[in-house]
Amino acid sequence: MHHDQKLGRIRFTFLRTPRPNYNEGWGRNPALRYLLLSDIHSNLEALEVCLKLAQGKYEQVLCLGDLVGYGPDPNAVIEKIRPLASIIIRGNHDKACTGHPVAAEFNPLARLATEWTRNELTPEHFGFLQSLPAGPVRLEGFQIVHGSPLDEDDYILGPGQAFPLLRSPGTQIVCFGHTHHQGGFMLSPQARFQSIRLPLRKDGLILAFPLEDQGRYLLNPGSIGQPRDGDRRAAFAIFDSGQHVIEYFRTSYDLPKTQEKMRKAGLPPLLIQRLEHGR
How many residues at the interface with Zn ion, by CB under 5 A? 2
The residue range among 31-39, 81-89, 157-165, 210-218 that interacts with Zn ion, by the rule CB under 5 A, is: 31-39
Q: Which of 66/247 has CB closer to Zn ion?
A: 66
Q: Which of 10/150 has CB closer to Zn ion?
A: 150
Q: Which of 215/225 has CB closer to Zn ion?
A: 225
H-state helical runs in 4-107 = 44-54, 74-81, 92-96
Binders of Zn ion among 65-104, rule CB under 5 A? 66
Q: Which of 178/244 has CB closer to Zn ion?
A: 178
d(CA 5, CA 199): 10
Q: Which of 39/73 has CB closer to Zn ion?
A: 39
Q: Which of 39/229 has CB closer to Zn ion?
A: 39
Instruction: Work out how close the CB of 225 gets to Zn ion at its nearest, in angstroms, rounded to a whole number.
Output: 8
For residue 176, which of 150, 211, 201, 199 has the smallest C-alpha distance?
150
From residue 49 to residue 68, the character string flagging contacts with Zn ion as x (rule: CB under 5 A) and all else as - is: -----------------x--
Residues in the chain: 279
From residue 214 to residue 253, the character string flagging contacts with Zn ion as x (rule: CB under 5 A) and all else as - is: ----------------------------------------
Sequence-distant (≥ 6) Cβ neighbours of residue 191 within 8 angstroms? none
For residue 225, which of 112, 106, 94 has the smallest C-alpha distance?
94
Instruction: Work out how close the CB of 3 gets to Zn ion at its nearest, in angstroms, rounded to a whole number.
Output: 33
Instruction: Work out how close the CB of 101 gets to Zn ion at its nearest, in angstroms, rounded to a whole number.
Output: 18
Q: How many Cβ atoms from other residues are within 10 Å of residue 191's Cβ?
A: 11
**Which stretch of DSSP H or E encloses residue 236?**
strand 234-240
| 22, 39, 40, 222: residue in contact with Zn ion (rule CB under 5 A) | 39
H-state helical runs in 181-254 = none
Using CB atoms within 10 A of its CB, is residue 83 exposed (0-12), middle (13-18) or buried (19+)?
exposed
d(CA 66, CA 164): 25
The residue range among 32-40, 45-53, 94-102, 230-238 that interacts with Zn ion, by the rule CB under 5 A, is: 32-40
- Give me the residues that bind Zn ion (CB under 5 A), please: 39, 66
